[in-house]
Amino acid sequence: MTNIYGYVRVSSRDQNEDRQVMALRELMVSEKNIFMDKQSGKDFQRPAYIRMVKRMKKDDLLYIKSIDRLGRNYGDILEQWRILTKEKGIDIVVLDMPLLDTRRGKDLMGTFLSDIVLQVLSFVAENERENIRKRQAEGILAAKAKGIKFGRPALPYPDNFREIHRDWRKKKITLRQAADACKMPVGTFYGKARKLENATKVSEIP
């Protein structure tokens, strides 16, 4: 008996998976056979996907909304497609791309055309991922050029920092005691101490 499965993936927990789930429900996919991951598609180390693949058997059918829901890495998508269709004997249907339906055209020409379409779409999915990453990096550089700072703002020096710093350098107190007196982690105290010392050296240059 053929079991029908559906796979849903969104990149983060705040993204909405409703569009994908509704498409699977319209195909009468049982709720217990809809597997969903909320994480990046950079690889296939996803809990729900792994559970689903372990459950599927020969001649089962898998629906996915689009090829990038399966994954975003060109090589990995092709390898998973091969494992599912060739090794496990599962049929796959990509709803947004009717040509990617392994139930059709199982002759040599049909398989050839399906493989070409799969490779093109896998490349497009990965290329888009790289473009997004590039645009994000360019956006960060542009923002930094405008003086926009990222990350948490630096903690201000406490009023007693110079005094405690002096006692620490004179070895009257330990690094841990100095950090505790300033109510900050040891690494933060040490970093601020080095920054203060470097600034003092620069100001002493005639």
Beta pairing, strands 4-10 & 61-64? parallel
Q: Which of these is catalytic: 11, 12, 40, 122?
A: 11
> What is the chain's length?
206
Amino acid at 37: D
11 is catalytic: yes
Query: Can you tell me which residue has the tokens 């029908």?
Result: 4
CA distances to 125, 131, 135 from 71, rounded to whole Å, are 8, 16, 20
Task: For the beta carbon of residue 56, count every other beta carbon within 10 angstroms.
Answer: 19
Q: How far is Cα 58 from Cα 163, in angstroms, rounded to an integer?
A: 74
Main-chain dihedrals φ then ψ at residue 8, nearest 5 degrees: -125, 135
Active centre residues (catalytic): 11
